[in-house]
Amino acid sequence: MLRRRWEREGISGALRRASNLVASINQRIALMGKLDGKVALITGAGAGIGRDSALAFAREGAAVAVVDVREVRAEQTAERVRAEGGNARAFTCDVRFLEQVERAVTGALSEFGRIDAVFNDAGTTRQGSVVSISLEDWDMVLDVNLRGTFNVSRAVLPHMIERGSGAIINMGSVDGLTGDPNMAAYNAAKAAIVNLSRSMAVDFGPRGIRTNCICPGVIGSPAILRMFTDERRAAMEAATPLRRIGRPSDIASIAVFLASEDSAYINGAAIVADGGLMAHTGIPA
């Protein structure tokens, strides 16, 4: 019967069916996200870059463990993900404390069964030079940024090692590659995170786990924008070759890329996203 159908329809009919099949396959591929079937754990996901990243990961098909020190904010982000049709669960922890991190990671594994990607976005800053900053502020900045990145990575890596795969994205800064005045603790913490990321890439790359670092310039998260006067924002925009400050979504899209197979051969990189700020010598024209 199939032979008679082919004889009746001829070559043109066969080509038409083949074309329809290809179109159907292409349509299915187009609907697939970069992170379909994956699970991501994102810290600092209650606001700013972390929240935009949780939404971006979910839009690409990932289930998201939304981690934040503020329970209300974590729940709000998770609810936004679910409102868009995504899968998310909120977890509250202070990344400075390993036992809290381990509880959140255990909860995420219990909820989703696996963790494929981690975005260590939780961070804070305090102003001050080595002389002027208080010891409490120094400890806070180093503990949240550097120890927090260490704690989350330490808690997740055994699971990734067992599975033989994973992607860890750490939040650096251009301040980790150069130095801003009166930001001693933040500069030091972010520089350490850049090199910690390289160390992790070397140590765990052979186990199938990629570690990379994003180094943003000035990003207009709500917390940063509240600190800016109109004059300060204008000055930052003028100093940036793209003539704008960054958006949280600018960084979220890089995190998605680094968590996806599109970056399968990128390991140990510090990716600068600053609108060209560091490309300028600073010497007046």
Active-site positions?
A: 186
Euclidean distance between CA atoms 285 and 280, whole angstroms = 11
**CB atoms closer than 10 angstroms to residue 284:** 4
Token output for 28: 């299915």
Euclidean distance between CA atoms 41 and 111, whole angstroms = 12
Query: Nearest to residue 57, comparing CAs of 205, 167, 196, 221?
Result: 167
Query: Nearest to residue 274, comparing CAs of 198, 184, 175, 183?
Result: 175
Which distant-in-sequence residues (6+ apart) come within 8 Å of 198 by Cβ? 211, 213, 268, 270
End-to-end CA distance of the chain: 80
Euclidean distance between CA atoms 262 and 88, whole angstroms = 23
Token output for 77: 């982000």
Q: How far from 49 is each of 88, 223, 236, CA to CA, in Å?
A: 17, 11, 19
**Residue 160 DSSP SS3:** helix
Euclidean distance between CA atoms 135 and 129, whole angstroms = 11
Token output for 174: 């251009």
Helices and strands: H and E segment counts in the chain = 10, 7
Per the DSSP assignment, residues forming a β-bridge with 118 are: 41, 168
